[in-house]
Amino acid sequence: MITVNLFSEKPGEVNKFLSHFYNTNLELNTALKWNKQYANPVEMAEIIGTYIDNIDNYSLNMWISLDKDIYLHVTEHNADDIIKYLYERFPY
């Protein structure tokens, strides 16, 4: 299962970030977590990039899963490498 997972301890943060990302109000005002499955893992690069570009504006944590039961914490230090890896591993 290839997923992106967002977590926050602050109510409204997930909604605030996703509303910014999708340019619409998703009305997830009380949600503290969110996840999305991707058929094409390369599509994850956009939300990862947006998360890192705005990491100081939101109180969020992002984790991705490319393989069953293995999760990677996305940080400022590894985001570029993760995005490169997505394009190398899934070049379609």
**Range 62-67 contact pairs with CB under 8 angstroms and sequence separation of 24 or more:** 62/4, 62/5, 62/6, 62/7, 63/4, 63/5, 63/7, 64/2, 64/3, 64/4, 64/5, 65/1, 65/2, 65/3, 65/5, 66/2, 66/41
39-89 pLDDT, tens digit per residue, is 999 999 999 999 999 999 999 999 999 999 999 999 999 999 999 999 999
Report the pLDDT averaged over residues 1-12: 94
pLDDT band of 29, cuts 50, 70, 90: confident
Instruction: Locate 41 and state its tokens.
Output: 């893992």
pLDDT at 1 over 80: no
pLDDT at 31 over 90: no
Do residues 1 and 37 touch, judged by C-beta distance below 8 A?
Answer: yes
Calpha distance 75→45 (Å, rounded): 13
User: For residue 66, what pLDDT is reported?
Assistant: 95
